[in-house]
Amino acid sequence: MTDYKTLIDAETWAFIEKTNSCYPPDTIDYTIAEQRAIYDRMCREFFAGYPQGVTVETTAIATPTASIPIRIYSNAESNSAAMVLYVHGGGFILGGLDSHDDVCAELCARTGYEVVSVDYRLAPEHLHPAAFDDVLSAFEWAAKTYDCPVLLCGDSAGGNLCAAVAHATRGHIKKPAGQVLIYPSLGGDRSRGSYVAHADAPMLTLRDIEFYLNIRTGGVDRTGDITLSPLADADFA
């Protein structure tokens, strides 16, 4: 049994304990509605507010299949060298514009870049590839709307979606200038490596990962689908 208290520094461990107090490790055993309510309460517990000089506008991108809510963060001291398209985490079933509100505001404040947060459709109401399609549409909108380079940024499930969109848009006339993937879910062989060695790690277990994948796909085997698992691609150019 791995002693994670010897592997993880005190500051991070304190964060883990606070998270677990708001979002218990057995939360995946609750209904989806209950999980979302618990997650939203946790995010409010951590909410740090907006840094000075950051303003926001909530609007939507109209597409042929869906209206995608977005939130645009602007800095009084703007930096037009790039813009950030931010894609939130939450296991593809949780989160939205409010869950990562202060995260996006801080990114805007620290970089000066305009940040656009994407409220993609969630499972199980909308199975894969709905979330991927929404983020791809948001990228195409950003590429047309902004004159500057587009940076993809996302955590967890959002990191997965950013990587998949980066792969899908390599041939785009205005392909992403870069991607910032924060503890991304990228696929891989779940029978080996850290999937086994750290199957019961704090905050995210192999059981959690299997649960989210099953919900996202509706239980359908999507092995080899690079829009679902970017590591399944054969080309990483």
Q: Where are the domains of the chain?
A: 4-221
Residue pLDDT tens, the chain, 237 long: 788 989 999 999 999 999 999 999 999 999 999 999 999 999 999 999 999 999 999 999 999 888 999 999 999 999 999 999 999 999 999 999 999 999 999 999 999 999 999 999 999 999 999 999 999 999 999 999 999 999 999 999 999 999 999 999 998 999 999 999 999 999 989 999 999 999 999 999 999 999 999 999 999 999 999 999 999 999 998
- How many angstroms separate the Cα of 113 from the Cα of each of 38, 51, 69? 31, 14, 20
CA pair distance 65, 157, nearest whole angstrom? 22
Expressed in angstroms, the distance from the first to the final Cα of the chain is 39
- CB contact burial 144-156 (16+ within 10 A = b; e otherwise): eebeeebbbbbbb
CA pair distance 107, 73, nearest whole angstrom? 9
pTM higher than 0.85:
yes
Q: According to the CATH classification, is domain 4-221 in 3.40.50.12780?
A: no
